[in-house]
Chains A and B, each alone.
Chain A
């Protein structure tokens, strides 16, 4: 049982490593790049035109003030 678990764990780690940026020879993005990716996302038209809020505290505050429900969309700006 313990051996089987170890084999599964080793396999999982191998899969995770194989798909990681390091294994694919890519350099992980710098913090500056990650910050820029995020800034680019919130500057896109779909985001600005519809009035999306990316601050959770502000969204809840506005929901309390207005009595409206929150429509929440979870997305990402990093590449797995």
Chain B
């Protein structure tokens, strides 16, 4: 027995001895930039390494030393080293790194991080660099987009926003099984009332289906349809009303009754999914891509994927989902908010204690230039793209061919391989432009997608979202407190009205309660901040 124990211990020690040298020193990444020749275009005298904290997603993993990175080094002399964190864990990790001030030269952050961490001094103040001499390329955008002033925190700029290049923006929109409308000669609904009638009609023809489904419960339902129905919900009730040109706390308005009434009618007529309050994204996906559900009002781009899944089922070969133009609400308006078009919600902050600040600023400005954008969105000239007769970059079909059947899609595989576009370290970034180009070049572009983008791009109901003004620390704390109380009270109320357990007239008492809890003060905080940022 002793011998066996001894043997086991020896094995363990041997194993540890094997493992220690490999890991103890924090082994460096494999691969490197290799040989180099100094070019006139270099932004630095000697090769300089700039580290970047990035998040990647399952669809577009980010790797180091990708072709675009290599090309950036060749042209600028700056080696980009990425520290990549999986998308699902990014917030937790980033918060710890920022809180311990142990982060790379540059980090990808979300808008909410700016007021939270800027006062701590870990982010480099950037207004000092925003001028024609230091950052000519960024300065061009700074002058072009007045809304960038909303990014200021206490009058200072702490982050570089990613500017979208030729973006086609969709958004929440009504998507229906268009093949069924055609089959039964049902006209496309033009008002929200007609929409309910159409769904009711389909329900009568296909009684086993759920006409209208959704995901992530009641809040998501309100987020997606409130604005179209004449009120608004934003992320948590507070939204910017483009018609009134001010911030409004949606649930505390008369118009919100129209939203609840419409949903209540949908519920009582058996149109709305009975499980609407608990439905998950997976359940929605499952219902829509199996033919069990016929309509959704959410990110309208999902329809293309559901169509693809649906077409694989025998009997559904001709089925397809298509967006319809935004219907008119009971106030006679046709309105919807698209996703961010020019100014995205991606930001990069610079570490105030970075030793390479000068190189970082030069590199970022270079990435904002047209040429920098070509490299960070198309890769290497002659390898993955060429310039056409108009001087615009275009992918080479010979390069794209290898990704024809790639998973999850050709364009994500190209993005991953080259290390390009919005989800990579890219400041003037393509997303839909390159996506469409790749799909069209590879012949994956179908008439449904074409029709879809035609409808979206020609629907004048969509307006791009308003960039939220930055609040002072005091305002931010007060707003959070008020919102928390309002959310706690309201979340218990919505379902009662949607399910008809309370008559809609009683919503007046909810509005009164919201006002007691500070709904108007919340609106004032945001409207004051908006006025302040516009006057800078």
Do the two chains bind? no
